[in-house]
Amino acid sequence: MSHLVREAMKNVFGRRSRLFPYAAAALLSSTFVVLALLAQSIDFDHEIAAAHDKGRNIFTVQSSSSDRPVVITRESCERLTGKAAVVRAGIITDRGRKNAQPLGSSIPLVAVSPTLLPQVDQGRAVVGVALHPLGAESNIVIDGVVLRAVSGLREPAGIDVNSAIAIPLGVDVVDDPRCVIEMKWNADGDDLQLALNQLHVQGGPIIAVPVFAETTSLIGGFLARSERWLPILVGCLGGLATSLAIRTRRTELAAYVFAGATRSAVATLVSLECILIGGVAAFGGVLTTLTLAPFALSPASQMFAMVAMGATWIASALPVSLQVAVVSPVELGKRR
Amino acid sequence: MFGGRVVLKVGHATFQSGAISGIIGPSGSGKSTLLSIIAGFLQPATGKVEYRDGGRLGPPTMSDISWVPQGAYLLPDRTVLDNVALGALSVGLELAVAKFTALRALEKVGLEDRGRDLASNLSGGEAQRVALARAICAPRPIILADEPTASLDRKSAGTVANILRNMPSDRLVIVATHDPLLIERCDQILDLGVS
């Protein structure tokens, strides 16, 4: 057996061997597939980011009916922050329009939970990104009151502070008719329901209104994309190409038979060659994935896909290749 | 039988170890077919092949046979030594032992200085001698050679014929040939043109 392994290694990795280009092609194919999957991941990331800016997975929890008002406790709303599938949650209340120097007059003022907008923590005001930008932390004056203020970051729709000045929600606010929740990008309806169940609500039934409603599910579309079959397709094509290459080596396989190798030894040799080439595809794919892991959406699932590609490569190559091994040595020798 | 047609009919023939037996006959008379039947590569429609080795009597197996095909059949991208060593490796010898045995076999066929060359660089005659070296370096009791001198010049053919002639006495050598040089060295002749 060990000499068959050695022979298979030489037949696949020998620089002058007929199978070497196929081993090289397996390596290149796996790199190509990883890069293609990575490009899809990056596109998907961009789609998710764009949808996030529009308010994807941000919900305003409120009464389901205007004639049946609700009160949601602030503590239960803010406490959702960081819980499973919730990025952040809190209350935003409108405080009207104010004169704010040196920013200008009639600027919207909102009070926000620090859990929803961490920049307002430590009593600072946050100047929305769409307003006049501040340099470093500086003072602003609102209705004669001096506040330390910082420039805000761009927030997605639903957390409407980009064109306003946000101040911390006062300790006197203990409840509100609305709670804003941002769920994780991959959260689903069950996750949202779980979060809603943890809110302490008085009054009529509540509803979570999405800020941005997806017409088609981005995640569903990504998971159902036909390109996800690329590793399997490449594995099939690579395996078939490998099997054809092995079949063209009839005279070489005949050399083994005439050197005394049994049919089972030739079958083992051919199988080992298929496994080595498929293994190169899988190993190359896993290695490239590990190298580019920081850019991959899910390195683990991508590595699994690469192993599946290698396995498909081997499974596609073996049946046709093994037919060579069961051919009579006389026939093997005849067909050059 | 092939396609319902009788392509070879042989009565009874016995081949002895320690002797070189020749199967001769015109082209198409079935020399190679008979060798394939003896090797077990083809099954006869009737009759059987039996091999007596000490107390054992039965059809020869692949592990009994070294085959010298018509047309060398070498691995072109490997060295001559690697090709010859395949014969020894196929009987389970360790790599180092197999290479040593292969070197000895190459000496016998006069190609000891070509061991490191690629098989693809050999002439037809040299390739045929390498195939013979590959066969004799495997310690198998039966050597079947199909036209082993067909593509050789007279000098090389003489060398090959002498090697086959001088095989150890425990080896059974059967050659299919129409080369007079080889025929005259045979101890026993089965003429398919007559039978």
Instruction: Report the distance separating Cα A179 and Cα A172, nearest Å.
Output: 16
Instruction: Report the distance separating Cα B30 and Cα B24, nearest Å.
Output: 9
pLDDT more than 90, % of chain A: 41
Residue that has been written with the tokens 């000891």 in this structure: B112
Residue A214 vs residue B188, higher pLDDT? B188
A218, A298 contact by CB (below 8 A): no
Burial of B161 per CB tally in 10 Å (0-12, 13-18, 19+): buried
- Contacts B89 to A, Cβ<8 Å: 3, 259
Residue that has been written with the tokens 């998710």 in this structure: A48
* Radius of gyration (C-alpha) of chain A in whole angstroms: 32
pLDDT bucket at A23, cuts 50 / 70 / 90? very high
Measured between CA atoms, how close is A248 to chain B, in angstroms?
13
Task: Select the residue of B41, B74, B86 nearest A330 (Cβ to Cβ).
Answer: B41
Q: Cβ contact (<8 Å) for A258 and B41?
A: no
Diameter of chain B measured on Cα atoms: 50
Q: Cβ contact (<8 Å) for B62 and A18?
A: no
Beta-bridge mates of residue A145: A142
- Contacts A325 to B, Cβ<8 Å: none
Per-residue pLDDT of chain B (195 residues; tens, 9 = 90+): 455 555 556 677 788 888 888 998 888 888 888 888 888 888 887 888 888 877 777 778 777 888 888 877 899 889 999 999 988 888 888 889 999 999 999 998 888 899 999 999 988 888 888 998 998 888 888 899 988 888 788 888 888 888 888 887 788 899 999 888 888 888 888 888 765
> What is the arithmetic mean of pLDDT over A278-298?
90
Tokens of A73: 């406790």
Parallel/antiparallel/unpaired status of strands B188-191 and B20-24: parallel
- Contacts B118 to A, Cβ<8 Å: 16
**Nearest Cα to A317, choosing from A288, A283, A264, A280?**
A280
pLDDT bucket at A330, cuts 50 / 70 / 90? low
Comparing alpha-carbon positions, the chain A residue that sits nearest to B70 is: A333
Comparing alpha-carbon positions, the chain A residue that sits nearest to B92 is: A3
- Name every residue whose Cβ is closer than 8 Å to that of residue A128 and which is 6 or more positions away in sequence: A152, A161, A162, A163, A164, A165, A166
Beta-bridge mates of residue A208: A61
Task: Answer whether residue B108 is part of any domain.
Answer: yes
Element (H, E) at B101: helix B95-108
Taking residue A220's Cβ as centre, other Cβ atoms within 10 Å add up to 10
- Contacts B83 to A, Cβ<8 Å: 255, 259
DSSP H helix total and E strand total for chain B: 6, 7
Instruction: Report the distance separating Cα A167 and Cα A180, nearest Å.
Output: 16
Parallel/antiparallel/unpaired status of strands A86-90 and A179-183: antiparallel
Q: What is the pLDDT of residues A94-126, one digit of tens each?
A: 988 888 888 788 889 999 999 999 888 877 889
What are the residues of chain B with a beta carbon less than 8 Å away from any beta carbon of chain A? 36, 39, 41-42, 62-63, 65-69, 71, 73-78, 82-83, 86-87, 89-91, 95, 118, 131, 134-135, 138, 140
What pLDDT does residue A134 have?
66
Q: Is A261 on the interface with B (CB under 8 A)?
A: yes
Return the HEC string of chain A. Answer: CHHHHHHHHHHHHCCCCCCHHHHHHHHHHHHHHHHHHHHHHHHHHHHHHHHHHCCCCEEEEEECCCCCCEEEEHHHHHCCCCCCCEEEEECEEEEEEEEEECCEEEEEEEEECCCCCHHHHHHCEEECCCCCCCCCCEEEEECCEEEEEEECCCCCCCCCCCCCEEEECCCCCCEECCEEEEECCCCCHHHHHHHHHCCCEEECCEEEEECCCCCCCHHHHHHCCHHHHHHHHHHHHHHHHHHHHHHCCHHHHHHHHHCCCCHHHHHHHHHHHHHHHHHHHHHHHHHHHHHCHHHCCCHHHHHHHHHHHHHHHHHHHHHHHHHHHHCCHHHHHHCC
Instruction: Report the distance separating Cα B89 and Cα A208, nearest Å.
Output: 75
**Nearest Cα to B143, choosing from B66, B53, B47?**
B66
- Contacts A14 to B, Cβ<8 Å: 77-78
Task: Answer whether residue B111 is part of any domain.
Answer: yes
Q: Cβ contact (<8 Å) for A330 and B69?
A: no
- Contacts A256 to B, Cβ<8 Å: 86, 90
Tell me the angle at which helices B124-136 and B154-165 cross, rounded to the nearest 10 degrees. 10
Q: What is the pLDDT of residues A144-168, one digit of tens each?
A: 888 888 888 889 988 888 889 999 9
Measured between CA atoms, how close is A226 to chain B, in angstroms?
42
Task: Answer whether residue B75 is part of any domain.
Answer: yes
What pLDDT does residue B1 have?
47
Tokens of A125: 């005001």
Task: Select the residue of A7, A10, A258 nearest B69 (Cβ to Cβ).
Answer: A258
What pLDDT does residue A35 have?
92
- Contacts A9 to B, Cβ<8 Å: none
- Name every residue whose Cβ is closer than 8 Å to that of residue A173 and which is 6 or more positions away in sequence: A74, A91, A93, A111
What pLDDT does residue A221 have?
82
Instruction: Report the distance separating Cα B195 and Cα B193, nearest Å.
Output: 6
Structural domain boundaries enclosing B100: 69-140
CA angle A178, A184, A188 (to 5 degrees): 85
ipTM above 0.95, yes or no: no
- Contacts B143 to A, Cβ<8 Å: none
Q: Cβ contact (<8 Å) for A14 and B74?
A: no
Q: Cβ contact (<8 Å) for A259 and B140?
A: no
Q: Is A264 on the interface with B (CB under 8 A)?
A: no
- Name every residue whose Cβ is closer than 8 Å to that of residue A258 and which is 6 or more positions away in sequence: A329, A333, B67, B68, B69, B73, B131, B134, B135
Residue that has been written with the tokens 């190298």 in this structure: A291
Task: Select the residue of B36, B77, B91 nearest A14 (Cβ to Cβ).
Answer: B77
pLDDT more than 70, % of chain A: 96
Q: Pick the residue of B90, B91, B99 with the most A CBs within 10 A to test the interface with A by mutation.
A: B90
Q: Is the dihedral of CA A159, A164, A165, A171 positive or negative?
A: negative
Q: Domain tally for chain B?
A: 1
pTM for the structure as a whole: 0.75
Parallel/antiparallel/unpaired status of strands A104-112 and A165-168: parallel
State the distance between the two ends of chain B, measured CA to CA, in whole angstroms.
16
Q: Cβ contact (<8 Å) for B65 and A260?
A: yes
